[in-house]
């Protein structure tokens, strides 16, 4: 895309659905300052199958890309245009297989299309370095998870840990040794980013006693980011050489509209 940025007015990317939301989020950071619309789309059924959703999705994505309302990296699927870093795959079979949990769609198809606007653009990022492979552990906290299991999942230490917790950022802090394992990670300067397992969520560390331990360890809340946006942002920041307080500062900022900033 960068190689043709001066030649094209917009870009349409055909993509498989399984990882499309991850790619959309990753592109939103890498292209945050490009200033030209990019629309990703795909389909549940191949184009050659009778009844496929492919032609409608490609046509809709193309129309979105050339619209004067288009901005940033977007994902078109199932008659809806979503901000790319706000989208998540919700179904492996439904024609409306992607949703945007925390913000409204940018547009819905119809006669005429209904446009609802886009999330705030964010700070942007000038001349980012390319993505590099980073060891980011994504761990779902479950009732009964032992400290030994958590330690095994974080040994050797990864470059960062995304902890998918209960509610607004709660963990079973009373589980013997569990907080100690997290403290070891924090002491080793491994970023601990706290997300929620809820479909719609706003992480608020320390809001309840069960989340106080994470707040005291200096864990970073994921705000209302989707897992795809959070994972891509973590890899992006690590690829830019961000560590420590600088990593946390950028995680709390909106680069490309991926999170909602609270007053």
Mean pLDDT of 131-154: 98
pLDDT of 262 over the 90 cut? no
- CA 164 from chain centre, in angstroms, equals 13
pLDDT single digits (tens) 11-22: 999 999 999 999
How does strand 80-83 pair with strand 11-14?
Answer: unpaired
pLDDT of 75 over the 70 cut? yes
pLDDT single digits (tens) 227-242: 999 999 999 999 999 9
Helix, strand, coil distribution of the chain in percent, nearest 5? 30, 15, 55
Indicate the range of 24-33, 44-53, 134-143 predicted with least confidence.
Answer: 44-53
Count of positions (residues) in the chain: 263
How does the average pLDDT of the chain come out, rounded? 95
**Cα angle vertex 26, ends 215, 22, to 5°?**
85
Could you tell me if 38 and 13 are in contact, meaning their C-beta atoms sit under 8 angstroms apart?
yes
Domains for the chain: give ranges and CATH numbers. Answer: 2-115 (3.40.50.1170), 136-251 (3.40.50.40)
C-alpha span between 100 and 81 (Å, rounded): 10
pLDDT confidence of residue 97:
97
For residue 143, name the pLDDT band (cuts at 50, 70, 90): very high
pLDDT confidence of residue 263:
63
pLDDT confidence of residue 186:
97
How does strand 192-196 pair with strand 107-108?
Answer: unpaired
pLDDT single digits (tens) 93-112: 999 999 999 999 999 999 99
């Amino acid at each position: 895309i960068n190689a043709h940025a001066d030649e094209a007015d917009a870009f349409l990317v055909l993509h498989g659905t399984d990882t499309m939301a991850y790619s959309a989020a990753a592109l939103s950071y890498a292209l945050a300052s490009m200033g030209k619309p990019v629309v990703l789309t795909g389909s549940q059924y191949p184009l050659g199958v009778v009844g496929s959703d492919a032609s409608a999705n490609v046509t809709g994505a193309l129309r979105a890309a050339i619209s004067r309302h288009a901005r940033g990296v977007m994902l078109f699927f199932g008659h809806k245009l979503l901000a790319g870093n706000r989208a998540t795959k919700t179904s492996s079979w439904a024609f409306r297989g992607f949703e945007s949990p925390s913000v409204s769609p940018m547009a819905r198809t119809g006669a005429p299309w209904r446009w609802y606007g886009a999330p705030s653009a964010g700070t942007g990022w000038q001349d980012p370095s390319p993505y590099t492979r980073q060891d980011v552990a994504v761990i779902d906290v479950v009732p009964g998870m032992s400290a030994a299991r958590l330690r095994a999942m974080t040994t050797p230490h990864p470059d960062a840990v995304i902890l998918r917790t209960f509610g607004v950022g709660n963990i079973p802090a009373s589980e013997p040794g569990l907080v100690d394992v997290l403290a070891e990670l924090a002491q080793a300067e491994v970023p601990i980013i706290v997300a929620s397992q809820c479909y719609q969520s706003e992480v608020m560390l320390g809001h309840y006693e069960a989340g106080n331990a994470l707040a005291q360890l200096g864990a970073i809340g994921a705000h209302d980011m989707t897992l795809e946006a959070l994972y891509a942002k973590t890899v992006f920041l690590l690829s830019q050489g961000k560590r420590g307080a600088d990593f946390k500062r950028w995680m709390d900022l909106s680069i490309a509209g991926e999170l909602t900033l609270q007053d």
